[in-house]
A and B are shown apart, each in its own frame.
Chain A
Amino acid sequence: MDIFVSELKRQMRAKRFILYILIAIILGGLWAWFIIGGRTEGFMMTGCYKELKGMEAIETAAKDRNIYAGEMTVDNFQRSCEVFLDSIKEKDGESDIIMNDELLKLAVYADTLIMQDYRLKKMFGDDNLDSWFPRDFGSHFYENEELYYQKLIDINTKNQAEKELALKMWNEVEKPYTYYGGFEVWRDGVEHIQIFGFVLLIMVGFFSSGIIAKDKECGLDEIISTTSGGRRKLLFAKLFIPIIMGLLIYTVGMGTYIGILKHFLPANALKTSIQVCGGATILPYSLGDLIGKMILFGTIGVITIAAFTTFVSSKANKASTAMSIAVLMIISGFLLCLKGVSDNSSIMKTISCILPGSVSFAGLWFGMVQIVSIFGKAMLFFKFHLFISILIFFISLMMTSWNYVRR
């Protein structure tokens, strides 16, 4: 314990510790300000709320949209369908939407219908993308959802096990969907958890890269290894200080970010079903569940990158080498996850899984139908990614231990 405290004091000396924590807090604050302060609201480029920005825009739009908030009933969908179609004025072959109070209140419904119409046409090869949906379209909203998701599952599953799992997930999705005003800002906030997490991961990589390599670089390691306690007794501290510091950086940074969002944004918007938030997904989660999962992925990502960078640090003779490798891993993980999703490429997705820290971006596997089969057993891709990351975490700890203690 004495050694652990001594090493902790050395690694987390006041100035360095405060600097890391301050950077995490400032970044968290700026990120949240960027999400909230820069927010504008609108609907189909009609210019509604165009004078408003930031909290004023969020609150005004949420107030309008909360009139029909809660369970998204078929009646409301049908009503929004009619109100929306009535607000369209054809002029010189072009459609103009004339905004009115009722449409503002039903904007979320109308938006969801438009998106559903577009997806169905794309899915079933209807080229007539410019035409509007029929007048009774809203009353068939959940039937159409069923139609779309069944087809989506058929296309994106490779075997019966995957199909069964996908259907099970889809059937667990609560219908009617739910929404509360302000969810759009939360949705953006949730997306940014991954980008902000990426920055925090790099900070953790920076801290962890020097934990052993710096001792070697300055020659202290030569003295440490000739003491009776030496590397063996330092091992525990060397393994866990980066993890503690990583968790601290992440908790403080992400805590500041989420804390500010929670303070300013409507809390009940977190009950919104993620199916309403834009992208198609078979997962039965609300926005609040999504945030919880993203933060869990971020936390696992942080401890994985801390453990992996410590391993690199035990191999490298220079902290800068360890730092470069850690940063390269984080950037590659991020880019491969993005590429894997955009190309729906199994190879890219699998490679991205084995890159340490990439689980922080596993939120990308929430869209569409992301399922993988291992020895005939189907598994949600983000769970597979999580499993691989935990494996990498333990392997990194073991390899560091072996590498650091052996003479």
Chain B
Amino acid sequence: MELRIDKVTKQFKDLKAVNNVDLNFTQGIWGLLGPNGAGKTTLMRMMVGNLKPSKGEIYFDGHTISSLGDKYLDRIGYLPQHFGYDKNQSVEDFLHYIGCLKGIDKVTRHKRIVDLLEQFNLSDVKHKKIDKLSGGMKRRVGICQAMLNNPDILIVDEPTAGLDIEERRRFRQYLATISKEKIVILSTHIVSDVEFIANYLILMESGEIIETGESNTLINSIDGMVFESVVKDEEMNILEQKYRIVNFHNEGDGNVRIRYIANSPLKNSKLVKPNLNDFYLSKVKGVK
């Protein structure tokens, strides 16, 4: 199973939202990382067929998704950034409605909904209106609707936006559970969302892919370049010009503990193990 993005560009009037993107998705969880406005949502909307590329093609198992039509849509699940629902529908009614649109027969649909509600801890609220649920629960309903047709490709756009830490943790856990034998593409601008669950990472900025590869490989690529040091508060401005400071902590008495990326470290610096956040900040130019 393979989803291939081949030299895809999307132009909106004067803006190139996605520029000449080449990607090859295989089984596993793919974290699509990038700042707001990087083009992640546009790319995802093209992958689900909601937008047509201005140039290039998207292939699923060797066929263009436009030629596959419904056959392709039958194999994808999509949770958009702004999960839309009819605020007057109950969780169960909503899932039946979407199931119906996905062409799932009544018996299968009913069984699938019962299973998903159970799996996502929503059985107790199935008769409640979606609008009355918490943000986390709404997102879970969102992922349920995407999972109704047991898709091979699951595309979720900023699924943790607006959730608290605990809900985000639970959501990551759900994604990890359902990702077996699927292509899961998860876009986010929150690095911690994909840090521990993504097998592969794609860094995107200004409509272009700036890095892509296996998570560990990418993170290891900056091994030996991440340091920690304690500096004086007044030195911060000069250091910020010179180094990519990825974190700092006020230690009191005018001292600041900084974590930074450099080829040649400051005196008294300690080499530390890099993490995804370090990698992300070292690559994304817009975040300085």
Contact = CB atoms under 8 A, between A and B. Distances in A.
B265 interface: no
A263 interface: no
B98 interface: yes
A15 B87 CA distance: 13
A8 to B, nearest CB: 11
Given A222-B80, A228-B74, A6 B97 contact: yes
Contact of B97 (A10, A222, A228): A10
Nearest to A232: B70
Interface stretch (B14-22, B44-52, B192-200): B44-52
A35 interface: no
Contacts of B87: 218
A229 B100 contact: yes
B44 to A, nearest CB: 10
A10 B84 contact: no
B215 interface: no
Contact of A219 (B70, B83, B100, B145): B83
A94 interface: no
A55 interface: no
A229 B84 contact: no
B contact residues, range: 20 to 34
A contact residues, range: 20 to 34
* SS class, residues of chain B in contact with chain A: loop
Contacts of B119: none
Given A2-B100, A6-B100, A233-B101, A226 B73 contact: yes
Given A219-B83, A407-B52, A229 B101 contact: yes
A228 B50 CA distance: 12
Contacts of A7: 97
B101 A230 contact: yes
A395 interface: no
A220 B84 CA distance: 4
A218 B88 CA distance: 12
Nearest to B69: A228
B82 interface: yes
Nearest to A215: B84
Interface in B76-92: 76, 78, 80, 82-89
10 contacts: A10-B86, A10-B93, A13-B88, A215-B84, A219-B80, A227-B98, A227-B101, A228-B101, A228-B103, A229-B103
Interface of B: 45, 48-50, 52, 70, 73-74, 76, 78, 80, 82-89, 93, 96-98, 100-103, 106, 145, 149
